[in-house]
Amino acid sequence: MGVQEFNLKNLRVVLERTPSVLTAWLNGLPEEFIRTTEGEGTWSPYDVVGHLIHGERADWIPRARHILAGETRPFDPFDRDAQFAESAGASLAKLLEEFAMLRRESLTALDEFHLTEDDLKRTGQHPAFGTVTLAQLLATWMVHDLDHLAQIARTIAKTQSVNVGPWSAYLSVLHDRR
């Protein structure tokens, strides 16, 4: 199946590439791709980049610090819609640059933790899930990036759902997630 043991070095390799993948993919695309959504209550690629920026500021490293500090109170709640106010009016190019800078800072902080196997087993309290480990938080960070890359691909692909005609049957990216 491909499930791997936790490997921080491998996770970090994916995390460091996300900004360049997004920049290469999205920078300069027509607005109809950048601002499209999958329907009411869903996010455009522009919104996703804003969400990733907010995550760099308020989620991954702050929660890792929380765990490493031995905090017993739950993590601060994460505002999953903060990007709508925080990114309003910014160009996508500016957001992509900001995300790249923040991700570099996050990865520098991660490196400076000098995490041990014991550190990765340390726990924190998620407001909805209860006890989580640092390793789970870090693995989620990487998978979260990939989840949003898949979301962007699906959203952009759906702009052509009518145009592909009968090939739609073979293009899983055009079908809603389970």
Domain boundaries, the chain: 8-174
pTM of the shown model: 0.94
pLDDT of res. 165: 96
pLDDT tens per residue across span 61-101 = 999 999 999 999 999 999 888 898 899 999 999 999 999 99
Please give the torsion angle defined by the CA atoms of residues 111, 55, 148 and 145, in that order, rounded to the nearest 10 degrees.
Answer: 10
Element spanning 121, H or E: helix 117-121
Residue with tokens 């990114």: 87
Cβ atoms of 142 and 29 closer than 8 Å: no
For the chain, give the mean pLDDT.
95
pLDDT tens per residue across span 12-35 = 999 999 999 999 999 999 999 999
Element spanning 153, H or E: helix 134-157
Q: Which fold has domain 8-174?
A: Four Helix Bundle (Hemerythrin (Met), subunit A) (1.20.120)
pLDDT of res. 178: 43
